[in-house]
Amino acid sequence: MKEGSTDEHRLSFTNSEKQSISEDVQYSERTSFLPLGLAIRNRLNLIDNEVAKFTSKNTGTPAALYDAAYYLVRAGGKRLRSLLTYLACEAVNGNLQRILPITVAAELLQTASLIHDDIIDNTEIRRGVTTVHKKFGEKMAILASDLLISQAFEIMGKWGTPELIEQIGRTGIAMCEGEAQDSVMNINELLSFSEEEYLEVAERKTASFMIEAVNIGSAMGKSSKKEVACLIEYAENLGYAFQIRDDVLDFTSDPRVSGKSVLTDLQAGSSNLVLIYALEACESEVKEECVDEITMGNYSLVLELIEDSGAIARATEKAKEYARASKAAIEDMNFPNKELFADLADFAVRRKF
């Protein structure tokens, strides 16, 4: 196996480190939302059924286009964006029948963005299956993601409002800016890339989607300004927690469990809080050597540095801080499903996929 192989270099940890990472959750492989309990799984089933109904009814020609578009949708996934939309609507006593088609639109947009991400990063595995561009080719993958975006806006035109469509557009712009900022960043810039700069990128790439989801969901009910503000604060902190956990999993996860490739941030030269913390802990000469090794596709040195520096534990604690802040944002609200929001925040930093 050549040096730099992701299978060879996936990090392993001591029992004490594992306990720090997983807190009071057993350090076992998880491939479903079982830790979230029956209440959230019931809501996810509603969303899954709505998604399945949409993909079965909305087909066209050529068939290959729709096969490529629905391939990743049907592979499953966390449905987090859709779930947040539903929970926010439920929190403000909104119309849950009306929100279900909009959760489909959210899932289509999420999947389209993942297809684009995988092309940009040349990722091979997503949701436990071959990525769309690897299976169907890049041209068809791009057209498939365009189709999903078009379908999402068609749904929003039917079930949403002009304000919600504008919100989706603003979020898409923020996401593109965040992804572009990551893409144009040279690996050498990581030497001086700060945590504050990282959070700016994370806000655009991840937190903005969470905020959009609760904005859309809450707009489907008679929400007060205070309720919306609390949901937005919840979603923003959840987004940071979720992204940092993704950073940790990029170094520690088993692809058979996570359904995703590992070390993708190193390979793409993308910002990652674990790497930022690890580089902060070493001398400038070591930093430069690490960057040189990463540039050549050799990851042994940087992974050794990550283990020795405690960067994984530090990033994990930072993710937990954001999860706690997320729960605190809605602590004083009388949302009927407040416990589900809290469970979701805890799960964001405990998940294995």
Domain ranges of the chain: 6-350
3-state helix/strand/coil string of the chain? CCCCCHHHHCCCCCHHHHHHHHCCCCCCCCCCCHHHCHHHHHHHHHHHHHHHHHHHHCCCCCHHHHHHHHHHHCCCCCCHHHHHHHHHHHHCCCCHHHHHHHHHHHHHHHHHHHHHHHHHHCCCEECCEECHHHHHCHHHHHHHHHHHHHHHHHHHHHHCCHHHHHHHHHHHHHHHHHHHHHHHCCHHHHHCCCHHHHHHHHHHHHHHHHHHHHHHHHHCCCCCHHHHHHHHHHHHHHHHHHHHHHHHHHHHCCHHHHCCCCCHHHHHCCCCHHHHHHHHCCCHHHHHHHHHHHHCCCCHHHHHHHHHHCHHHHHHHHHHHHHHHHHHHCCCCCCCCHHHHHHHHHHHHHCCC
Q: Which CATH architecture has domain 6-350?
A: Orthogonal Bundle (1.10)
Q: What per-residue confidence (pLDDT) applies to 290?
A: 86
Q: What per-residue confidence (pLDDT) applies to 161?
A: 85
Q: What per-residue confidence (pLDDT) applies to 271?
A: 85
Each residue's pLDDT tens digit in the chain (353 positions)?
334 444 444 444 344 433 333 332 222 233 345 456 788 989 999 999 999 999 999 999 999 999 999 999 999 888 999 999 999 999 999 999 999 999 999 999 999 999 998 998 888 889 889 999 999 999 999 999 999 999 999 999 999 888 888 988 888 898 888 878 777 666 667 677 889 999 998 998 889 999 999 999 999 888 999 999 999 999 999 999 999 999 999 998 777 766 666 788 888 778 899 999 998 888 888 888 888 888 888 888 989 999 999 999 999 999 999 999 999 999 999 999 999 999 999 999 998 87
